[in-house]
Amino acid sequence: MCKTNRYTITAALPYANGPLHIGHMAGVYVPSDIFARYLRRKGKDVAFIGGSDEHGIPITIRAKNEGVTPQDIVDRYHENIKTTLDNFGVTFDIYSRTTSDKHREVAQDFFKTLYNNGKFTEDVTEQYYDEDAKEFLADRYIRGECPKCQNPDAYGDQCEKCGSTLSPEELVNPRSALSGNTPIRKETKNWYLPLDQYQDFLKEWIIDGHKNDWKSNVYGQVKSWLDDGLKPRAMTRDLNWGIPVPVEGAEGKVMYVWFDAPIGYISFTQEWAEKNGKDWKDYWQNEETKLVHFIGKDNIVFHCIIFPTMMKAHGDYIMPDNVPANEFLNLEDDKISTSRNWAVWAHEYLEDFPGQADTLRYVLAANMPENKDNNFTWKDFQTKNNSELVGILGNFINRVMVLSHKYYQGIVPAKTMEFEEVAQIKGFATRIGEHIEKYEFRAALTEYMNLARLGNQFLQAQEPWKKGDNPEEVKGIMNAATQIAVALGQLAEPFLPFASEKMLRMMNVEKADWNTLESTDEFVTEGHQLGESELIFGKIEDQAVEAQINKLQESKVKNNMTNPNAEPQKELVSFDDFQKMDIRIGTILEAKKVEKADKLFELRVDTGMDVRTIVSGIAEHFTLEEVVGKQAMVLANLAPRKIRGIESHGMLLFADKADGKLTFVNPEEETPNGVQVG
């Protein structure tokens, strides 16, 4: 177990074009943090590296849509993501960003090394070009029909519906995401990484070397790519947002985001090492170091094919020991979608459930999509919190603390008896560690909760509250129960860091080395003073869960609307009620402002039946000149009422636009006054 002493752990760099959701947390950040926390407790030298990917095409798309610069977008979301991860207790040694000067320097140096050593091939090819936007189109700016599943809105590099990796040339009826027009083909020169030249190396390293220790979903996807045969892939793009390509003749070009982004792991490590007096090369160029990439399944090809080829071409870097990619987490039996707002946003969860980061960590770890897609539901979230965290773990800790203070003023009594349950603790610690080292986080968490169940069963079976006539036996029972409780506080830390900290504080003990937990059955000694009991987990009520389900339902309703900005439908009315309304075409003959009423016009309206006075609150939307002579729809049989002393006989009908401005609802052609609408 765990013979390696130095680990470099990377977590996929999130695009800084939006906040994190529970799919990101379950797929990458919770498992990587569990792994890093455990290894630190084992006394290992760990560099846990993360940061924001700030050069992705989605960022430029969002910037265009919002009318701001890409830098505005990445500044906003980098801070949002970093704060969210901090608040969930994700213990990165550094969380940096790919727009930093340090990263630009390292990425350009990496590119120049490959360029100077002749590792790239140059090729002039025809690329898609938008004549209206006057831009070459990156893969994500090209949309069209997926040739494999016929999804009409696939990207030029990937179909999000079927998961296929694509090239723009494969799309049926391609169109520009900038203008919507059909792009033309135009010649441009780019630098290519000849992946085909590294096919034998990748086959020997992964297919032959890792068939027994890599996850089947990762191994299978890599094998499929290699069986299809690798082709050269362009590492440069004709864009104005990214890291400039540092070679002659590459003006106006930037590095392909999947060349630049993984180098971020290296540049961030260098940044961290410089600040902490370490040699970064120990973590990337020393064969005694284990490199582990935590990613989602959509990033397998980049971390198992492209990035390793880059490092092999460079010549100085170690290969990853493992890439334990997770599958996808669904939400309420539907695929998480940021565009449809079908997601639980991590930062919003923290606002809605303050102080309960561990609850979500627990539920996501329990439902982690390790080998196949899994599902998150709010009802299951509530059940796992109330039945498991509160009912099993919290209940046991509370009972031990209450009984200890009741019987012994919180002082640990003597060990007067031996119990098999205490002897089992080190076995739990060992099994939890073995599962974590195999990236089996769900199984590790199950073992942890089985120890909590064992504690409850032990207390229930021994019933110390019924043995007041045998104080020595009660001491032995309570000593044993306390050992289990302290062990639970110690072993919780990788999964439930905030609860672990609270439990250890309650029990007045320091965090112990994991090796100690695997070798001892005495975690506190006789006479140790326990602290005061605290509530570890709070019950989640039905209304809190219903509010979250309602929020998702509102998203579903909006997704079915052709205009997401439209107001929700009002209460139903009967046909008879509708028939009572008399709506006529009328013409505004005169208009004047109502004194001391900035919003009101007094109008004289020809309804075809009469000329009447109508007071209307439209003064903020139109000038007097704009309304005179306009035809409008008039609700003619609205009961008269006085407004500012003026009797108003009816109502004009307007539409309220998305920007808040009113617009007339009137016939396309001039229509005789008095014509009924219905």
In the annotated binding site for ATP, the residues are 338
Say if residues 608 and 585 touch (Cβ distance below 8 Å): yes
Residue 101 in tokens: 């000067």
Binding site, by residue number, is: 146, 149, 159, 162, 338
Closest to 530 measured CA to CA, from 503, 512, 511: 503
- Annotate 555-621 with DSSP letters as a single string: HHHHHT-SSTTSPPP-----HHHHHT--EEEEEEEEEEEPTT-TT-EEEEEE-SS-EEEEEES-TTT
How far apart are alpha carbons 637 and 488 in whole angstroms? Answer: 74
CB 673 within 8 A of CB 585: yes
CA atoms within 13 A on the CB side of 436: 31
Residues 142, 156: contact at Cβ < 8 Å? yes
67: left (phi over 0), alpha (psi -120 to 50) or beta: left
Pairing of strands 374-376, 329-331: parallel
Three-state DSSP string of 238-253? CCCCCCECCCCCCCCC
Tell me if 233 sits within 8 A of 195, measured CB to CB.
Answer: yes
Q: Cα(first)–Cα(last) distance of the chain, in Å?
A: 79
How many angstroms separate the CA atoms of 21 and 348, rounded?
Answer: 9
Contact 468, 486 (CB under 8 A): no
The 8-class DSSP code of residue 375 comes to E
Q: How many CA atoms lie within 13 A of 342 on its CB side?
A: 18
Q: How many Cβ atoms are within 10 Å of 142's Cβ, its own excluded?
A: 25
Q: Which of 468, 508, 482, 510 is nearest to 402 (CA)?
A: 482
Measured CA to CA, the distance from residue 112 to residue 247 in angstroms comes to 7
Cα of 78 vs its chain's centroid, Å: 13
User: By three-state DSSP, how is residue 628 classified?
Assistant: coil
Binding site membership for Zn(2+): which residues?
Answer: 146, 149, 159, 162
Tell me the two tokens of residue 76: 């906003």
Other C-beta atoms lying within 10 Å of the C-beta of residue 538 = 15
Listed in sequence order, the residues at least 6 apart from 329 whose beta carbon sits closer than 8 Å to its beta carbon are: 22, 23, 26, 27, 336, 364, 367, 368, 369, 373, 374, 375, 376
Place of tokens 């397998």: 300
Nearest to residue 175, comparing CAs of 123, 125, 132, 236? 132
Token reading at 71 = 């830098």
